Amino acid sequence: MPAFDAAECSRRLAQPVTEGGTRTMGRVLLAAATLDSTQELLRSHGALLGDGVVAVADRQTSGKGRGGNQWTSPLGCLMFSALRRLRVSSPAQAPFINYLDAGLVPLPGLLRIKWPNDIYSGDLKVAGALIHTTWQGGCFNVITGIGLNVNNRTPTTCLDELLERAAAERSAGEQEAVLTGILAALEEVYDIFEEHGFAPLEAEYLTNWLHTGQVLDFDNSEPPATSPSSSATTTTTTTTTTTTPSTTGRSTGTGGGGAVTRLIIRGLSPSGFLLAEDVEGGAGVAGADGGGGCGGGARYELTPDGNSLDMMKGLIRRKVQ
Tell me what pLDDT residue 317 has. Answer: 83
Tell me what pLDDT residue 67 has. Answer: 53
Domain spans in the chain, listed from the N-terminal domain onward: 6-208, 211-222+259-282+295-320
Residue-wise pLDDT for 195-222, tens only, equals 999 999 999 999 989 898 999 999 877 7
**By C-alpha distance, which of 106, 94, 89 is closest to 188?**
106
> What is the pLDDT averaged over residues 284-292?
38
- 251 band by pLDDT with thresholds 50, 70 and 90: very low
- pLDDT at 247 exceeding the cut of 90: no
- pLDDT at 309 exceeding the cut of 60: yes
> What distance lies between CA 152 and its chain's CA centroid?
20
Tell me what pLDDT residue 140 has. Answer: 95
Q: Which CATH superfamily is domain 6-208 in?
A: Bira Bifunctional Protein; Domain 2 (3.30.930.10)
- pLDDT at 15 exceeding the cut of 80: yes
> What is the pLDDT averaged over residues 132-141?
91
Tell me what pLDDT residue 177 has. Answer: 92
- Among 18-27, 55-64, 277-286, the minimum mean pLDDT is found in 277-286
- pLDDT at 82 exceeding the cut of 80: yes
Amino acid residing at 218: F
Tell me what pLDDT residue 158 has. Answer: 92
- 306 band by pLDDT with thresholds 50, 70 and 90: confident
